[in-house]
Amino acid sequence: MKVTIKLVGPFRDGRFKENVREYPSAVSVLEVVDELRIPRPLLGIVLINDIHARIEDELHDGDTLCLLPLLDGG
Amino acid sequence: MKCFTSDPASEPASVLYARCTVDLGSGKTRYEDVPCRNLEDVLGGFGRSFQILAERDIRDAYCDANPLIVNTGLLTGSSAMTGLRTYFSGYSPIKESRKGLPAAIWSTGSGNFGAKFKWTGLDELIFENRSPEPVYALIRESVDGPVVELKPAGHLVGLSTHAKMMALQNEYGSNAHFAAIGQAGEQWENVYMGAVALSTDNQLKSGEDKMRFAGRGGMGSLMGYKNLLALVAQSSDKIKPLTAEVKKVNINVVKGGGSARLQPISRGGGGGTWAAYDVMQVFNAVPVNNFRPQGNDLPEKLFRENVEPQFVIKSEACFRCGITCHNNVHEKRGDGSAGRFLAKFDYEPLNLLGTNLGIHDAAQAASLIHLSDNYGMDSISLGVTVSYVLSYNERHPEQPLLNGARFGEYAGIRELVEQAGTGNLPEIGHGSKRLSESTGETSYAYHVKGLELPAYQPETNPGYAWAIAGGHMSMGTYGLLTREGKSDMDSWVEGITRTKLQIVGFDMIGLCKFFDITKGICTQMVVDCIKSEFDMDVTAEDLAAAVRRAFLRGLALELRQGYEKSEYTLPAEVWERPNQNIKLPNITSPEFIAELQKRVWEIFEPELEGLLPEIGQKGR
Ligand code: SF4
């Protein structure tokens, strides 16, 4: 199945900004995060189709997954 | 600090802290060891200072009875990472209730002044009254304990924060650190938003103006009113050898994830608070043109990736801190090396003196931040008050305010900052609440309870209403919608009344929030540090209860200073002109706010009873 992945901030370094990628069906967010070698402690927000989601959630064909770093004060 | 118990929660009076009271009017000093009243006193910071402030009836911040309290937290100067905080507390010149009474406030910063102060042997320094002449205070160690002396400061008058520190460094050499106000604080009558700058090792070694700030609430202006231009803390370093327990904690702080986003990108971190730009922009929630995000990509111009090619960004840190959260921006020379230091790019000043003023050029934003830091102003209050002026001028092109500057007009904005910083523009120096009341257009003045909002859209954080000091750092709900996706009433009531108020614990204990911003201080890590440093047994539950009492005391103190419940709200523009560009659920409708107010007060109100001493009485 095809999933559009959007990366934000430092996650783009050495990766990409937006990419449509092929995954087996019912792949989880966590599996995508690990596949992209995004450090889990840095992962702050997961959006699936612009809605907040959890790292355990499964993705479906045509979904857009956006991965954002932590947001913690400033 | 003298500890005669291992159980400070049950026996607080067996812990005594060292206080010096200085009468600036007479120059007399008094030293005493004060028994703690409760665990809040033991922890320190605002947990202690607010109990002192609560004993006084202060109706005008600029009166002799309003003290300036300088103190530290239990872990300031300890071997725990980020244990560098200094706290400045008093009744605020800028934050006031609608009735016109000043609110109690604290502000805090890192740098190395706090540790040096603690190492002199002092835990608290209270300045009473005001000096007839400009003075600075020298706090030094001696064989008989800490000594505080007042010194003439005529040679410091009119100097910037940095220049004052450099002048004092010439006199006191490498064993001293400094806290200083700039021209803004000296012009306290016309500037209520003066900040206190705190020196860093990096600054003193390089000569570059890389200070940290206790910015919020105008404590620099209160210092100016008292004719107290600077503090010098001179002592040898007394850091204890690192124990295995604290070492483990420190490694966890740096590597365990709590500070991940603050670490430099080169170390696999998120690159400091600046990275909030990238996150907020996904939701179109980066403040633009006085908190009106436009749904376009303008904020991206100040993204790190777009600034980095033209400048050298150094990741630097306070003394011994492995988090290294400072992003110091330098000019880039032809050979790619770092040239002149321009400014620090933390999220708040960058946004509020950049994108939120319509300034999208990094060099221009840097120069405004640099000016604000050197005049010694709270960049948040300054930026938000200037953005109010620009917004007014956009609405009234025929009869604009002041010099008529508009969003994005760098020269005009710079002039406003210069005039305000030198005390020549009280319209800005007095903050957005007073200015908007004078124009009669209050709905788009982005303050809550008289203190300007930081760079998180109020549409994302109704919790601002219950923040007891600086906006987001005294109520940790600013990420509840954006980060956690919570838009239901129960989550917001729970966040405000229980979990997210715990953020203020950092402003008691002496640690930087980045020690573990998501979990707060009520953790095994902090318990282990207290045990290791002081051989005290405190539980995470004890800590949580003390932090909650301290927070509630702050709330009770607001109410005593005349705040009405209707003031626990957001700028009206939020619901009068809902911003459709922000891509997050709407949790700031009048109905949502009304229900939230009702439910939050139902929980808080019964707990406020008996928290404050009678005026003139000592608290228990
Ligand atoms: S986290 Fe940042 S501000 Fe806090 S002590 Fe470390 S370097 Fe300084």
DSSP A4-39: EEEE-GGGGTTS-SEEEEE--TT-BHHHHHHHTT--
Smallest CA–CA separation between A31 and chain B, in Å?
Answer: 19
Residues in chain A: 74
pLDDT of amino acid B255: 82
Would you say the CB of residue B211 lies under 6 angstroms from ligand 1?
Answer: no
Residues B600, B496: contact at Cβ < 8 Å?
yes
Query: Which 3 state secondary structure label does DSSP give B412?
Result: helix
What CATH number does the domain containing B186 carry?
Answer: 3.60.9.10
Give domain limits for chain A: 2-69
Of B72, B76, B78, B82, which is best to mutate to test ligand 1, by the most ligand atoms within 8 angstroms of its C-beta? B82
Number of domains present in the structure of chain B: 1
Residues of chain B with confidence (pLDDT) below 50: none
Torsion of CA B158, B161, B162, B167, to 10 degrees: 50
Of B514, B515, B516, B517, which is best to mutate to test ligand 1, by the most ligand atoms within 8 angstroms of its C-beta? B514
Residue with tokens 């020379």: B333
Domain membership flag for residue B14: yes
Would you say the CB of residue B350 lies under 6 angstroms from ligand 1?
Answer: no
Residues B435, B260: contact at Cβ < 8 Å?
no
Model-level ipTM above the cut of 0.90 = yes
Residues B355, B302: contact at Cβ < 8 Å?
yes
Residue scoring higher pLDDT (B404 or A9): B404
Residues B354, B302: contact at Cβ < 8 Å?
yes
Phi and psi torsions of B103, nearest 5°: -90, 150
In A, minimum Cα distance to B347 occurs at: A74
In B, minimum Cα distance to A11 occurs at: B270
Domain membership flag for residue B199: yes
CA dist B106 and B559 (Å) reads 17
Domain membership flag for residue B86: yes
Domain membership flag for residue B312: no
Residues of B with Cβ-Cβ distance to A70 under 8 angstroms:
260-261, 270, 279, 483
pLDDT of amino acid B263: 73
Residues of B with Cβ-Cβ distance to A74 under 8 angstroms:
273, 276, 346-348, 454-456, 472
Which burial class, exposed, middle or buried, applies to B127 when counting CB atoms under 10 A from its CB (0-12, 13-18, 19+)? buried
What global pTM score does this model have?
Answer: 0.97
Give residue ranges of B with CB < 8 Å to any A CB: 256-257, 260-262, 265, 268-271, 273, 275-276, 278-280, 282, 305, 346-348, 454-456, 472-473, 476, 478-479, 482-485, 513-514, 517-518, 583
CA atoms within 13 Å, Cβ hemisphere of B153: 30
Phi and psi torsions of B176, nearest 5°: -120, 150
CA dist B573 and B221 (Å) reads 30
Residues B89, B105: contact at Cβ < 8 Å?
yes
Contact A44 B517 (CB under 8 A): no
Would you say the CB of residue B110 lies under 6 angstroms from ligand 1?
Answer: yes
CATH no. for A2-69: 3.10.20.30
pLDDT of amino acid A73: 61
Going by the DSSP 8-state scheme, the letter that residue B562 receives in this structure is T
Size of interface A-B (CB pairs under 8 A): 85
Would you say the CB of residue B183 lies under 6 angstroms from ligand 1?
Answer: no
Report in angstroms the alpha-carbon separations of B334 from B208, B307, B312.
21, 16, 11
What spacing in Å lies between the alpha carbon of B76 and ligand 1's midpoint? 13
Q: What is the domain range of residue B169? A: 2-234
CA dist B250 and B273 (Å) reads 20
Give the tokens for residue A25.
Answer: 């069906």
Q: Whose CA is nearest to atom 5 of ligand 1?
A: B82
